[in-house]
Amino acid sequence: MKVFVLDTHKRKLEPVHPAEARLLLTEQKAAVFRKYPFTIILKEESQQQPEPLRLKIDPGSRTTGIVLLKDSGEIFFAMELAHRGQRIKKQLDSRRASRRNRRNRKTRYRKPRFENRTRPKGWLPPSLKSRVHNIETWVKRLQSVSNIQAISMELVRFDTQLMQDPEISGVQYQQGQLAGYEVREYLLKKWNRTCAYCGKTDVPLEIEHIVPRSRGGSSRVSNLTLACNRCNKLKDNHPVELFLQKKPELLTKILRKARAPLRDAAAVNATRWHLYNRLQQYGYPVEVGSGGLTKYNRCSRNLPKTHWLDAACVGRSTPGTLFQGHNQVLQVQAMGHGSRQMCRPDKYGFPRTGSKSPTKKVRGFQTGDIVKAVVTTGKKVGCYVGRVAVRASGSFNIKTETGTVQGIGWKYCRLSHAADGYTYWY
């Protein structure tokens, strides 16, 4: 990907090729300003006027794609942001269970308080709010290092009413070039682009009715699955119970998954307008598009299915040809900023560790920092790069791409990127 450039007054300049950035750093005409996304700052003033860029966002329930590109189709920056909404929901459920357990043990009477607790207008649950805040954080970061002049976002990924009842707004609703793309895109995600009957992948898949229409089956999304051409022909209009009578476990799995709730689709739909209103506050024109249009753009340009390429294909402003001079895509995982929990409990709820240290930093490091440790002596000789977990003793753990290395002394560590609530890799 291109390298972002700032002048000595932190004014945004035209991004440069990595080779040019290395040359500027070697000649000491620039210094590293930020590692993720990689940004350099020049040691002199520049009057260069950068070309305008468009920021494209493909919001997802679990992963969001973000791309910066020119109107000519050149992609300058691409990243995939993994959210932690599922983890937040799990932690809130655990905290709720512990609280109720504690109140049951202490059986004093507590007056009901639900009548004086109202939610403000536009309230979102924490697990959904974190998704919006993650995206907004990265919009601000990219805005500070690049000349963004327009934003495109996918406002609605799945029309759940349309999927449940295809005739909800008349037959004209599904006519035109985008007919059926909403349902197909949802089914591909739900069934992981795999044939439900034989498990084949990387083959052409067809939409298949679990209960055949000739036997009274509907076109609701709960009655649809994906099948390869061979399985679709073999099943024909037979009842699924007869077709899979020798595979009862697979039959149970398919029927259970077909009735699964539209949880991920609902999460995206619940946050779409909140995110749209937030983006409008930046003063840029905000273009919107649907998930069906995104898939149509991607398929018409023969691009593979990835989150960041979906982002590049959002909206009607998508250029006819997309190209990039690099193959790197920044992977970002939201990790949070730690926990307020004072000590870790065991499975019965009793404390099993001591209380937290009053200071977050140990020897100048804190949990979440990305460090590089070059160990020259001992049993752990080697070079380790990753996210550090500090200990008061000065013996740190470093989480690398291959696993967690324990017991690395603080003297071997060098800070690469300060903790900011995210972890990164390529």
Indicate if the pLDDT at residue 161 is higher than 80: no
Which of the pair, 135 or 104, is modelled with greater confidence? 135
Domain boundaries, the chain: 1-50, 52-98+127-158+267-334, 160-166+178-261, 370-419
Average pLDDT, the chain: 87
Tell me: the pLDDT tens digits for 207-230? 999 989 888 888 888 889 999 999
Indicate if the pLDDT at residue 359 is higher than 80: no
Give me the mean pLDDT over the 308-315 stretch. Answer: 93
The two three-digit tokens of residue 128, written as one number:
């959904």
Give me the mean pLDDT over the 362-381 stretch. Answer: 92
Distance CA 341, CA 343 (A): 6
Indicate if the pLDDT at residue 173 is higher than 50: no
Which of the pair, 222 or 56, is modelled with greater confidence? 56
Residue with tokens 């972890």: 423
pLDDT at 177: 45
Residue 396 φ then ψ, to 5°: -100, 160
Give me the mean pLDDT over the 363-385 stretch. Answer: 93
H or E stretch at 53: strand 53-58
Sign of CA dihedral 328, 80, 86, 360: positive
Indicate if the pLDDT at residue 350 is higher than 90: no
Give me the mean pLDDT over the 139-157 stretch. Answer: 91
Cα distances (Å, whole numbers) of residue 305 to 102, 245, 320, 329, 355: 48, 34, 17, 14, 47
pLDDT at 309: 94
The pTM of this model reads 0.78
Residue 386 φ then ψ, to 5°: 170, -170
Q: Which fold has domain 160-166+178-261?
A: DNA Binding (I), subunit A (1.10.30)
Return the bridge partners of 332, or none. 81, 424
Highest mean pLDDT among 137-141, 153-157, 228-232, 304-308: 137-141
Which of the pair, 80 or 121, is modelled with greater confidence? 80
CATH number of 52-98+127-158+267-334: 3.30.420.10
pLDDT at 172: 44
